[in-house]
Amino acid sequence: MIKPHGSDTLNPLFVQDSNKRDELLKEAASLPSIVISSQAAANAVMLGSGYFNPLKGYMNLSDSIKVAEKMYTADGIFFPVPVLNLLKNVDDIKGKERIALKDPNVDGNPIIAIQTVKAIEELSDTDKKMIGDKVYGTDDKEHPGLAIWESLGNFMVSGPIEVLNFSYFETEFPETFRTAYQIREEIEKAGWEKVVAFQTRNPMHRAHEELCKMAKDGVNADGILIHMLLGKLKKGDIPAPVRDASIRKMVDLYFPPNTVMITGYGFDMLYAGPREAVLHALFRQNSGCTHLIVGRDHAGVGSYYGPFDAQKIFDDEVPADALEIEIFKADHTAWSKKLNKVIMMNSVDDHGRDDWVFLSGTKVRELLANGEKLPVEFSRPEVAEILGEFYRSEAGK
């Protein structure tokens, strides 16, 4: 199986021993505590899950600046985005060596992790803007990821953490949420050597289905990991339970048995386009995957990024030895009326716009909300029914 990023074995920060966790929870009761941001809590989940291997905790200012500028920490660890615990107020934790981190996303704000504080540094407005510009590729505050970044505090609390739970992800998505080490175990149990990963924050339509099959065949993979984001999204995105149900229905009916693993991970979407595509590759390598599908507008939003910027970054900015995972570069896929099947659009040169079945996101939502059927060339009818039920219920609210 492919090695994790940055180490010979995966080193998740979740405290596996239940007795040790109980001891830490008792300690946490006596520690100064603070409610962290949703993004910091998601980072804790990813650190605990092993997805952010080989990091041991939240980055400091020096590492954050170097990662933003060069995608390397001061110690030479390749990483595409800063992993931070930013706070607006640190009065209650100044001078403290250990602090308890409270989860903002669960009622009662339970302790999600304990952090050993190495430094508390104030991020200047200049540095904050630079990091935002580098990671998100824009200074437009309408960008949903940058808007969240701007809303976070400027106090950077760095240091290693011990993760005590996986927030709401295990309880709300028990059939889907998996850590990187659990996925590695499942891949090993299945006997898969070559695994292609598909990242999604959306339901999967015919084009996505066929793209997964094309990639599997193209790299001669043993199986496909469909890996969906379960954390916070922007307004208008389809909730995780609806996506989960539609994807499971599609796989059950239209993929050969024992060729697909359906899983999810606990992270808040950054919408950072190219930088987030590299992050996706890193934590799929940590999950044991050998290939990641990167298509048009991967991890993008609006028109902030070029259609293939998420592919170009691997050629232009990611050093060849930075990651072991390979990228399966995909063009936009759509139903060809001429060939009567889904193909990559760049594979033919005799098609005009009228030879493809296209539907905008707005048109899809409009059809579903009105109880109208999506074209079978665009969506499997069983998937469309699940999505239609959701949109009709939303319209009735």
- Catalytic residue IDs: 201-202
Report the distance separating Cα 255 and Cα 206, nearest Å.
12
Report the distance separating Cα 341 and Cα 356, nearest Å.
10
Report the distance separating Cα 98 and Cα 177, nearest Å.
29
Report the distance separating Cα 309 and Cα 302, nearest Å.
13
Please state, as a whole number, how many other Cβ atoms lie within 10 Å of the Cβ of residue 315.
11
User: What is the C-alpha radius of gyration for the chain, rounded to an integer number of angstroms?
Assistant: 21
Report the distance separating Cα 77 and Cα 79, nearest Å.
6
Four-point Cα dihedral 383, 371, 173, 272, nearest 10? 80
Length of the chain: 397
Interacting residues of 133 by C-beta distance below 8 A, sequence separation 6+: 139
Report the distance separating Cα 98 and Cα 28, nearest Å.
9
Which H or E element spans position 86?
strand 86-87
Side-chain-facing half-sphere of 126: CA atoms under 13 Å: 0
Alpha helix ranges (H) inside 86-143? 125-136
